[in-house]
Amino acid sequence: MNVGLFGFGRTGRLVAEEIIKDSECKLKWVVRKSAADNHKNASDFLGFPHKNEGRFFTKDEATEKGFFSEHPVDVIIDFSSPEGIYEYAEAADSGARIVTAISKYGEKELALVKELSGKTAVLHSPNITLGINFLLVVSQILKDIVPQADIEIVEEHFREKREKSGSAMKIASKLGLDPLEHINSIRVGGIVGKHEVVFGLPNQVIRITHETISRAAFGTGAIFAAKKIVTAPPGLYGMEQIMYEEFVKNISVERLV
């Protein structure tokens, strides 16, 4: 699977590394803000000198007409910025699938995401880690089983993060909880991200927890998503939807007994 990557910041570099290490993927190119160093390829920059993967292009080069026909890929993975979608929108016309992990799209960008999904398969997930989406699915199932439970959400992040976690807000929404009353935020040290859903019952407490140890987890999730939609028809997909389908497909009464 040939992959193009938008964004080479703190997270983007780890995502690129995960793509390079995956034997089923080939990182064809990386688009970043500038090319202000001596490295031609991302693989050289990241310490894989024999891979020859991820040729660097600037944003200006990527927006030149014909870029995506000259450098075709099966999937574009976006870890750049909300405005990045305008830079690769043209690629949808050639059938390239799109995985975007941008968390804070404006209304115009969200409208463009939906427009592109009419041309190709687009997966949008603000938190694309496997674990958080598994937590979302299981929490909803558990709430249906024990609707009488008291439910609280605890989210922990690095001290510089001011706002409430977007993932915690989504969990609250899916569980029908008021985020102001049921999200408890902790800001300490250099925690990447931890989310816990606590179900309180009269005689027991059930905790469903996910912790991101490294931002490389976003790369693992993005690759998983890309593999799932690389042959999918046009449409708008979500990581939670894919995780639910995998959950249902792999769980059976026979396996649980």
Residue 141 one-letter amino acid: I
Is 157 an annotated catalytic residue?
yes
| Ramachandran quadrant class, 235 (left: phi over 0; alpha: psi -120 to 50; beta: rest) | left
Is the torsion defined by CA of 188, 186, 213, 167 positive or negative?
negative
Phi, psi of 95 (to 5 degrees): 90, 0
Residue 76 sits at φ, ψ, to 5 deg, of -105, 130
CB 69 within 8 A of CB 95: no
Catalytic residue among 143, 157, 182, 195: 157
Sign of CA pseudo-dihedral 238, 244, 246, 249: negative
Q: Which of 21, 51, 71, 161 is catalytic?
A: 161
The verdict on whether 249 is a catalytic residue reads no
DSSP 35: -
95: left (phi over 0), alpha (psi -120 to 50) or beta: left
Cβ-proximal residues to 43 (8 Å cutoff; 6+ apart), any chain: 20, 27, 49, 51, 52, 53, 54
Both structure tokens of 180: 């102001």
Hey, which residues are catalytic here? 157, 161
